[in-house]
Amino acid sequence: MRAWLRAPRFSIAATALATMIMLPHPLAAAGPEFRLRLGEDPETLYNVKSFSLTVGDVLGPYLLERLVYFDESGQPRPWLAESWTISEDQQQITFKLRSGLKFSDGTDLDAAAVKFQFDQVMDKKNAAPTLPLLGPLTSVEAVDPLTVNFNFDKPFAPFISNIAQASFGFNSPSAVKKSGDQYGRHVVGSGPYMLKSWEPGTEIVLVRNPNFHQWRGDALNKGEPYADKFTLTVLSEEGVVLNALQTGELSAAPVATDVIDKLASNPKINLVIKKVVNNLLFLEFNETRAPFNDVNFRRAIGYAIDRDAAVKAAYGGYGAPELNSMASGIPGYDPQIPKQFGSPYDPVKAKAILAEGGWKKNADGLFEKDGKPARFVIKSYAGFEPISRTLAVIQSNLADVGIAVTLETSDWGTFFPGLLKGDWDMDLMRWTWTDPGILSILFRSPGHRKMLLANAAQDEGLDRCNTIMDPEKRKGCVAGNQKALLESATIVPVLSNWFVVATQANVKDYHLDFFNALIPGDMQLAQ
């Protein structure tokens, strides 16, 4: 799951580097092709073998379709499924498929194909990284060509949002069997486009699928896709991307915050900004160590942090301070909870809470208790400028209230597993997810890094929300979890960064869905 945890790559290169990279010629104004940026080359295009964001960015919008999608309000809607029902004991979900569904190779996308996909994930020989997302799923039955039963040994509410992700899009069973171990280079789905070619490290070319039918209700274009072809060009350096956008060599690209203002003043460029996002940057604590086993000490940390300053420093203002324990783009987010139970910036209150807890200032200006000064370490991961800038703001904020922190960063492969050792005080973590079940994954004691103290009441609430299959009823439960996590100060939320895409001014309807994935069939050139 590593790629879902990491921040986007924001390594800024000098724009002069652009002259060293050979890019295709700028698009003709009326050309039927769009050329988009891909931040890195995917390791495979078989979703049974990979769970990375990059793989999802290729498969999800263009190549593979799913049973359900989520509409603009965050509600699940039928996609390839025509409808679904849940058994009285909530341990079986039955999907009715639309008739006549086809993969781009002309084979049937029917109940047997759906079963095949999930069987591949559940087959332990495949070591599918998405298997945990299926929870207590025990079997999948193809009842008839258009009916599929999913059987669970207990209710599992996150299932619906989990299978809306690219990781559970459908591959042609015939193509999988034909290509064997090489299928990841020859993927066949039912999406609006088909894989034409893939030059590793350079580009992926996708052409229109003649068998495609748009079933999504949130799509603006209900007919065939406007563009004949999409070319996804692998560009990792932000300076190169900036130059390619300015010269018209790229139709559109997600961009780092450091270059947004340079593009905003360019009349040939439009910015698409998605402010409802599903990422959250937060501080978490090793509660097995004093004083982080004290809820009031953790709460004081929350009041000490200037989140507005962090957003400005880390993302140039293209983000939002966050006081809630869950990102705003996850279904069930309750904006009233942080207003009542959050810890807004108030250094005076932070100092007062510490003083009430027996902490006193020493000669060095630091708080001290039982002869031990408030000196701690915050760990995080290296290589991402927004993380470094946020850490600097937090370090300064805590120093202002009398808490000294040392910052330690390392690469993700060292940092994240290292937290299991328990030799740390606080860490700065970023998580991207699409379902409120993330709260249970992260914060059900002993927590995802095994450093949270037991909290029976909080755990019961987290467990209960994962068993409520009705989305509306689940919202109330999830709101209770958001409140509980703030009251216990399990984490200190800091911010969420917005999703920003730059497009050429003549690009029309660069349309993002609820989870910030492009709906490519909508994209067209303005007349």
Q: Kindly state the average pLDDT of the residues 460-468.
A: 96
Is 16 a residue whose pLDDT tops 50? no
Q: What percent of the chain has pLDDT over 90?
A: 89
> Which pLDDT belongs to residue 313?
97
> Which pLDDT belongs to residue 258?
87
Q: Kindly state the average pLDDT of the residues 115-125.
A: 97
Domains of the chain: which residue ranges? 31-272+499-523, 277-496
What pLDDT, in 10s, does the model give residues 408-426? Answer: 999 988 999 999 999 999 9
Q: Kindly state the average pLDDT of the residues 357-366.
A: 96
Asked whether this chain's domains 31-272+499-523 and 277-496 adopt the same fold, the reply is no
Is 215 a residue whose pLDDT tops 70? yes
Q: What are phi and psi of 490, to 5 degrees?
A: -60, -35
Q: What's the N-to-C CA distance of the chain in angstroms?
A: 42
> Which pLDDT belongs to residue 284?
98
Which residues lie across from 375 on neighbouring strands? Answer: 404
* 14-23, 438-447, 464-473: segment of lowest average pLDDT: 14-23
| Cβ atoms of 253 and 263 closer than 8 Å | no
Mean pLDDT for the chain overall: 92
The predicted model scores a pTM of: 0.85
> Which pLDDT belongs to residue 527?
76
What pLDDT, in 10s, does the model give residues 131-148? Answer: 999 999 999 999 999 999
> Which pLDDT belongs to residue 419?
96
Bridge pairing between strands 81-86 and 92-97: antiparallel
Options 1.10.150.20, 3.40.50.970, 3.40.190.10, 3.40.640.10; CATH of 31-272+499-523? 3.40.190.10
> Which pLDDT belongs to residue 52?
87
* pLDDT range class, residue 257, cuts 50, 70, 90: confident
Decide: helix, strand or coil at residue 98.
Answer: coil
What pLDDT, in 10s, does the model give residues 269-291? Answer: 999 999 999 999 999 999 999 99
Class of domain 277-496: alpha beta
* 89-93, 292-296, 374-378, 468-472: segment of lowest average pLDDT: 468-472
What pLDDT, in 10s, does the model give residues 33-87? Answer: 999 999 999 999 999 999 888 999 999 999 999 999 999 988 999 999 999 999 9
Which residues lie across from 431 on neighbouring strands? Answer: 280
Q: Kindly state the average pLDDT of the residues 439-460.
A: 96
> Which pLDDT belongs to residue 383?
86
* pLDDT range class, residue 2, cuts 50, 70, 90: very low
Q: Where are the alpha helices (DSSP H) in 123-237?
A: 159-162, 173-179
Compute the distance between CA of residue 95 and CA of residue 81 in angstroms, rounded to an integer. Answer: 6
What pLDDT, in 10s, does the model give residues 372-389? Answer: 999 999 999 998 899 999
Residues recorded for the chain: 527
